[in-house]
Amino acid sequence: MFAEKVLSGMRPTGRLHLGHYHGVLVNWVKLQHEYPCLFFVADWHALTTAYDEPGTITQNTWDMVVDWLAAGVDPAQATIFIQSRVPEHAELHLLLSMMTPLGWLERVPTYKDQQEKLTHKDLTTYGFLGYPLLQAADILIYRADKVPVGEDQVPHVEFTREIARRFNHLYGREPGFEEKAKEAIKKLGNKRAKLYEELRNRFQERGEEDALEQAHAILDEAQSLSHGDRERLFGYLAGSSKIILAEPGALLTLASRMPGLDGQKMSKSYGNTITLREDEESIRKKVRTMQTDPARVRRTDPGDPEKCPVWQFHLIYSNDEVRAWVQEGCRSAGIGCLDCKQPVIEGVLKEQVPMHERARAYEEDPQLVKNIIADGCEKARKLAQETMRDVREAIGLDYS
Ligand code: TRP
Ligand code: SF4
């Protein structure tokens, strides 16, 4: 049985904040127990927009990786690595660029959006246009099945699927494919072989998706198949070509409910963040000076939690009892805003205790982080090299 693989990446933005934690990292930590996971630092992607400010990328990478570890991403469960240390990504990106129509890249919504947003930068570059293709290479090189991303990245995963399909269509035809597929069917054993043929017919003639799923399950269970035969039989279901690059699916990460200290989205550029390893005094001060319902000017003015960013924090950090106390006390002016903020402060501090604990060793000895990354890069490279062997062979660049 081939377990489904999860892959996701993050550009190195430096220290992460509670928005990243509740939006992304909590999900990664959960997924690492459920699937083999690969998590990487997309440092080349950072360079597509920060090409004129290099120097910042390495420090941002180390800071971010320590935050991943602090948040509970566990190198014993997940493979953690840096994109540029697995140069196979670049080779696949290059090969894919040969068959990628320019129009496909120009049509990706983030292309124009980002150019319009980052007006202070010249983003009419070759590398920036290729951003989604590099991302496609990141995903396809590990034959990842599931890609956890936020909504803004869904078009990139869809683009990746189109690239995989085009690649398989162009290069997936091996000489004698039909015969080889038929030989492989025999290896399933009589009963399974018959069922496979039936399901294939149902899918090809009537487009029945559940027949396709059942056939996939049969292939997953067939222990005796070689990797090549399995790929052939997956391909034979869909049409007549071999699947070399698997189509991934997006695993939509729901938008974080974590607002910033001012009620806007939490973001470094708004200066409204609490970072993952922030010191206690600073957290107390930030929450104490947080904006509240503007209608509560004096202690005796009643307020409305719905109009207050502190309430959003209670939704994350407080239980029903505390929430009821806030609702009642705020609307009746029975509690002051500082009283109301106290449980939030305690909640944020408590959440950070294990993060500080996990991070301590890495802060004291950065070599530990480097070792984790070196290990992860080596594992990732092995997987990437396997795919690249198949890719080169399919394209006809196999000189061995
Ligand atoms: N583009 C992604 C982002 O900005 C980062 C990324 C690069 C990524 N390569 C990836 C995410 C591959 C998932 C899979 O968030
Ligand atoms: Fe906000 Fe709480 Fe003050 Fe009400 S009492 S305005 S919810 S901080």
Work out the average pLDDT over 13-33.
96
In this prediction, residue 258 has a pLDDT band, given cuts at 50, 70 and 90, of confident
**pLDDT at residue 240 is higher than 70:** no
Work out the average pLDDT over 355-362.
98
Alpha-carbon dihedral 88, 94, 95, 97, rounded to 10 degrees: 140
CA angle 312/274/305 to nearest 5° reads: 20
Residue 377: the pLDDT is: 98
CA of 21 to the centre of ligand 2 (A): 24
Q: What is the mean pLDDT of the chain?
A: 94
Work out the average pLDDT over 350-368.
98
Share of the chain above pLDDT 70, in %: 99
Question: Which atom from ligand 2 is nearest to the alpha carbon of 335?
Answer: 5
The torsion angles phi and psi of 49, rounded to 5 degrees, stand at -110, -20
Alpha-carbon distance of 330 to 209, in angstroms, equals: 54
CA of 11 to the centre of ligand 1 (A): 7
- Specify the range with the lowest mean pLDDT, choosing from 81-95, 237-251, 320-334: 237-251
Cβ–ligand 2 contact at 305 (below 6 Å): yes
DSSP count for the chain of H helices, then E strands: 19, 5
Work out the average pLDDT over 294-313.
96
Of all protein residues, the one whose alpha carbon is nearest to atom 4 of ligand 2 is 330
Work out the average pLDDT over 280-293.
97
**pLDDT at residue 29 is higher than 90:** yes
CA of 306 to the centre of ligand 2 (A): 9
With left for phi above 0 and alpha for psi between -120 and 50, is residue 318 left, alpha or beta? beta
In this prediction, residue 2 has a pLDDT band, given cuts at 50, 70 and 90, of low
Alpha-carbon distance of 170 to 99, in angstroms, equals: 9
Residue 1: the pLDDT is: 44
CA of 136 to the centre of ligand 1 (A): 9
Work out the average pLDDT over 358-387.
98
Q: Where in the chain is the domain with CATH 1.10.240.10?
A: 277-363
The torsion angles phi and psi of 101, rounded to 5 degrees, stand at -65, 135
Structure letter (DSSP) for residue 199: H
- Specify the range with the lowest mean pLDDT, choosing from 46-60, 69-83, 134-148: 46-60
CA of 135 to the centre of ligand 1 (A): 6
Q: How far is CA 185 from the centre of its chain?
A: 36
Work out the average pLDDT over 249-276.
91
In this prediction, residue 209 has a pLDDT band, given cuts at 50, 70 and 90, of confident
Cβ–ligand 2 contact at 308 (below 6 Å): yes
Which of residues 327 and 399 earns the better pLDDT score? 327
Two tokens, residue 235: 């391909």
**pLDDT at residue 30 is higher than 90:** yes
* Burial group, residue 271, by CB count within 10 angstroms (0-12, 13-18, 19+): exposed
Residue 178: the pLDDT is: 86
CB atoms within 10 A of CB 102: 8
CA of 291 to the centre of ligand 2 (A): 9
Q: Report helix, strand or coil for 251.
A: strand
Residue 80: the pLDDT is: 98
β 78-82/6-10 pair status: unpaired
At residue 59, what is the residue type? Q
Tens of pLDDT, residues 154-203: 999 999 999 999 999 899 877 788 899 999 999 999 999 999 999 999 98
Cβ–ligand 2 contact at 318 (below 6 Å): no
At residue 385, what is the residue type? Q
Q: Which ligand is nearest to the Cα of residue 152, counting in written order?
A: 1
Query: Cβ distance 113 to 121 under 8 Å?
Result: no
Closest CA to 71 of 29, 13, 30, 15: 29
Q: Where in the chain is the domain with CATH 3.40.50.620?
A: 6-172+246-257+365-395
CATH superfamily of the domain spanning 6-172+246-257+365-395: HUPs (3.40.50.620)
β 249-252/78-82 pair status: unpaired
Of all protein residues, the one whose alpha carbon is nearest to atom 9 of ligand 1 is 135
Of all protein residues, the one whose alpha carbon is nearest to atom 13 of ligand 1 is 8
Cβ–ligand 2 contact at 313 (below 6 Å): no
DSSP letters, 287-329, are HHT----TT--STTS---GGG-HHHHHHHHH--HHHHHHHHHH
CA of 269 to the centre of ligand 1 (A): 20
Count how many Cα atoms sit within 13 Å of the Cα of residue 324 in the half-sphere of its side chain. Answer: 3
Alpha-carbon dihedral 352, 354, 356, 360, rounded to 10 degrees: -170
Share of the chain above pLDDT 90, in %: 84
Fold observed for domain 277-363? Tyrosyl-Transfer RNA Synthetase (1.10.240)
Q: Which ligand is nearest to the Cα of residue 344, counting in written order?
A: 2
